[in-house]
Amino acid sequence: MYKKKSFFITFEGIEGSGKSYQSKKLFKKVKSMKLPVIYTREPGGTVAAEKIRQLILDDYYYPGSKEKFDKYTDTLLYMAARNEHIKKKIYPSILKKKIIICDRFIDSTLAYQVYGKGISRNLVSNIHRYILGRIKPDLTFVLKSKLSKAMQRLKKRKKKNRYDRFTKKFYYKIQKAFLKIAQTNKRKYMVVDNSFDTPRTEEIIYKKFIKTYSK
Ligand code: TMP
């Protein structure tokens, strides 16, 4: 028997790293164990935050628009969505002692906005101080992948326009940033190489979850 406690797990990585697939796999597995678990994502996770997500993604992918959000607008929208998500979903779930599996969280802002786009780290940290309170992930999986494999996965997606969003060079930079972030706390982060579509990845993730959760 496991002790009932909240446990916050995040999955991070570039598009095509397989993090959404792997996080859903873990969710199904944990659910099948009859443990209290929820699945959520960022940007999004609540009705209001999903609206903000739509706003951000429309701006990225709408081919006809000449005027794009400024990078600070974009960042503030991610933060606004996160605030809604924390207040309305993450925090209440923590109080209910649930296991939360979240596809992307604060490290995506660090990797994409701070390292990738050069947004002030101070601004991001300060806003996080206000909106996060004491909430922080207990365990973060950083999925890394060979860029050629990630690109291949993206090409297979129905929404092909996503593939055009960033250059390969940008993804290389973002992946490097995720790996750097993971180095800051080796106990909390686990880097998983997901370059190959093998069931081993799921097993590694599940084992790490069990080990950390049952501590
Ligand atoms: P997704 O493809 O994993 O659903 O994520 C949507 C996009 O949002 C993806 O390009 C990464 C980006 N993103 C940021 O740039 N900053 C953030 O803080 C978050 C949560 C996502």
Beta bridge partner(s), residue 41 = 103
Expressed in angstroms and rounded, the spacing between residue 56 Cα and the centre of ligand 1 is 9
Expressed in angstroms and rounded, the spacing between residue 41 Cα and the centre of ligand 1 is 10
Minimal-distance CA residue to ligand 1 atom 16? 109
pLDDT in tens, 57-69: 888 776 666 788 9
In the structure, what pLDDT confidence band is assigned to residue 2 with cuts at 50, 70 and 90? Answer: confident
pLDDT in tens, 90-139: 999 999 999 999 999 999 999 999 999 999 999 999 999 999 999 999 99
160 has a pLDDT exceeding 70: no
Percentage with pLDDT > 70 across the chain: 93
Expressed in angstroms and rounded, the spacing between residue 110 Cα and the centre of ligand 1 is 11
Ligand 1 site: residues with CB under 6 angstroms? 15, 42-43, 78, 104, 108-109, 112-113
Expressed in angstroms and rounded, the spacing between residue 106 Cα and the centre of ligand 1 is 10
Expressed in angstroms and rounded, the spacing between residue 42 Cα and the centre of ligand 1 is 7
141-145: average pLDDT = 98
In the structure, what pLDDT confidence band is assigned to residue 167 with cuts at 50, 70 and 90? Answer: confident
Minimal-distance CA residue to ligand 1 atom 8? 43
Domains in the chain, start-ordered, CATH in brackets?
A: 7-213 (3.40.50.300)
Minimal-distance CA residue to ligand 1 atom 2? 15
Q: What is the DSSP string of the chain?
A: -PPP--EEEEEE--TTSSHHHHHHHHHHHHHHTT--EEEEESS-SSHHHHHHHHHHHHHHH-TT------HHHHHHHHHHHHHHHIIIIIHHHHHTT-EEEEES-HHHIIIIIIIIT---HHHHHHHHHHHHTT---SEEEEEE--HHHHHHHHHHSS-GGGGGSS-HHHHHHHHHHHHHHHHT-TTTEEEEE-SS--THHHHHHHHHHHHHHT-
pLDDT in tens, 19-53: 999 999 999 999 999 999 999 999 999 999 999 99
162 has a pLDDT exceeding 60: no
